Amino acid sequence: MTPIGPKAYIHIDRLKQNLWNIRRHIGDRKLVCVVKANAYGHGALEISKALSNESGIIFAVFAFEEAIELRDNGIDNAILIFSRLQPELILKASKLNFILNVCTMADLKALSDFQIKTGTCPTFHLKFDTGMTRLGFDVSEAHTVFTFIINNHLNPEGIYSHFSTADEGNLSYAEIQLEQFNEIIEKGKNKGINFKYVHCSNSGAILNLPNAYFNMIRVGMLLYGVSPSDEVPMDISLEPVMSFCGTIVNIRKVPAGTQVSYGGVFITEKETNIVVVQAGFADGFPRPWYEKGFVGYKGQTYKIAGRVCMDQFMVDFGNLEPKEGEEVLLFGKKDGNEIAVESIAREINTTTYVLLTAIHGRTERVVV
Ligand SMILES: Cc1ncc(COP(=O)(O)O)c(C=O)c1O
């Protein structure tokens, strides 16, 4: 049976080129490739397998289960887990070479207890909250944290924080975060703690805040060839790693005045070919895009006709009559068509992160 559902073509050559271009930009800093949320919809296994042999790559995921999935599938690289540490998983983390996120005194206590009991300790990085107000020690806890570490002979491999506005035009808040982070590191140093890795940068900071590079960088969106926001200058050459496509499953010639899709908000102006594409909002094709949206086919674009349905949507092909089984480009860059996911995000007032991570479920990933 030929699959006719949506397909996400994953261009590995572009992924690697993006990686090299990012590396050229950031110098020889250690790189953490963020593959959480199924590598932003690109397929965590596909992406990790393609990058695992590049020199010195660490992967980052959010959930423990995501890290297990990578290990179970032969990915040997160190894996940083962003989510809250679960004490019952410390042993497993230690055996599987995961890097744990330590962000409360309870986490530190759990690690210390584990170390006393077993004589070993998994690798961990301390996370400080400098303004995101999410996970992380408070800035004011720095003294207590470092004292506990010294008194209990713990050895954090790294220390990090996360920007909330690094991809914005106005960087004043990010600068304050950076200042606070620098002060924390200084306090650690004054107490004699040497962190092997210090990291704060995400994609926005890579483009916007070279002062925040330290010696390790966490990169997600740029790796996938997509800009984190419209406000940052894109001075790294990147290409979209995903081409999201849908299959034409039906073509019907209809007269002028024909209503198309729910609500009948699209009415044909003349006789035209209405093409049914098998991909809908349940597949991550964004419903609000129908108002201005289009698809790519053989180098041309054709307007979406009416509201995107759960599993399908329609396109007005005019006089042209494509064939069933042919594909249209929904976003990405393939076969002479290019539709930037950034432009869709802009048009429907969402973010590229939301659009890409919505690609899941029935979509088949095809590595090319
Ligand atoms: C803690 C942390 N670091 C790094 C990243 C990567 O961010 P980006 O995709 O903007 O590079 C994320 C993504 O949300 C994150 O949560």
203-236 tens-digit pLDDT: 999 999 999 999 999 999 999 999 999 998 899 9
Instruction: Give nearest CA residue, ligand 1 atom 9.
Output: 220
Burial group, residue 194, by CB count within 10 angstroms (0-12, 13-18, 19+): exposed
pLDDT by residue (tens digit) across 6-63?
Answer: 999 999 999 999 999 999 999 999 999 999 999 999 999 999 999 999 999 999 999 9
CA 220 to centroid of ligand 1, rounded, Å: 6
> How confident is the model at residue 3, as a pLDDT?
83
Quick check: is 262 catalytic?
yes
> How confident is the model at residue 331, as a pLDDT?
98
Exposure class string for 315-336: b at 16+ Cβ within 10 A, else e: bbbeeeebeeeebbbbbbbbee
Quick check: is 191 catalytic?
no
Residue 353 has pLDDT above 80, yes or no: yes
Residues near ligand 1 with C-beta < 6 Å? 34, 82, 162, 202-204, 218-221, 228
CA 10 to centroid of ligand 1, rounded, Å: 20
How far apart, in whole angstroms, are the C-alpha atoms of residue 251 and residue 265?
A: 20
Q: At 289, is the pLDDT very low, low, confident or very high (cuts 50, 70, 90)? A: very high
HSE, CB side, 13 Å, CA atoms: give it for residue 358.
18
Q: At 245, is the pLDDT very low, low, confident or very high (cuts 50, 70, 90)? A: very high
Determine the topology of domain 12-224 in CATH: TIM Barrel (3.20.20)
The model's pTM: 0.96
CATH code 3.40.50.300 for 242-367: no
CA 62 to centroid of ligand 1, rounded, Å: 10
- Which among 95, 109, 189, 262 is annotated as catalytic? 262
> How confident is the model at residue 310, as a pLDDT?
98
CA 193 to centroid of ligand 1, rounded, Å: 26
> How confident is the model at residue 178, as a pLDDT?
98
> How confident is the model at residue 2, as a pLDDT?
79
Sorted by where each begins, the domain ranges of the chain are 12-224, 242-367
Does 242-367 match 12-224 at the fold level? no
Q: Give the helix/strand (H/E) hosting 44.
A: helix 44-51
Task: Write out the E strands in 149-241.
Answer: 158-160, 197-201, 216-219
How far apart, in whole angstroms, are the C-alpha atoms of residue 276 and residue 302?
A: 12
Share of the chain above pLDDT 90, in %: 97
pLDDT by residue (tens digit) across 312-328?
Answer: 999 999 999 999 999 99
Burial group, residue 255, by CB count within 10 angstroms (0-12, 13-18, 19+): exposed
pLDDT by residue (tens digit) across 70-118?
Answer: 999 999 999 999 999 999 999 999 999 999 999 999 999 999 999 999 9
Tell which one of 31, 42, 162 to mutate to probe ligand 1, the residue whose CB is within 8 A of the most ligand atoms: 162
Among the atoms of ligand 1, which is closest to the Cα of residue 218? 4
Instruction: Give nearest CA residue, ligand 1 atom 1.
Output: 162
**Which of 14, 20, 45, 51 shows the shortest CA–CA distance to 33?**
51
Residue 143 has pLDDT above 80, yes or no: yes
Q: Which residues contact 116 (CB under 8 A, 6 or more apart)?
A: none
Residue 1 has pLDDT above 80, yes or no: no
> How confident is the model at residue 233, as a pLDDT?
86
Span 148-158, average pLDDT: 97
- Which among 7, 36, 333, 334 is annotated as catalytic? 36
How far apart, in whole angstroms, are the C-alpha atoms of residue 28 and residue 40?
A: 25
> How confident is the model at residue 197, as a pLDDT?
98
Q: What is the mean pLDDT of the chain?
A: 97
Tell which one of 42, 202, 236 to mutate to probe ligand 1, the residue whose CB is within 8 A of the most ligand atoms: 202
> How confident is the model at residue 359, as a pLDDT?
97
Tell which one of 209, 218, 241 to mutate to probe ligand 1, the residue whose CB is within 8 A of the most ligand atoms: 218
Span 286-294, average pLDDT: 97
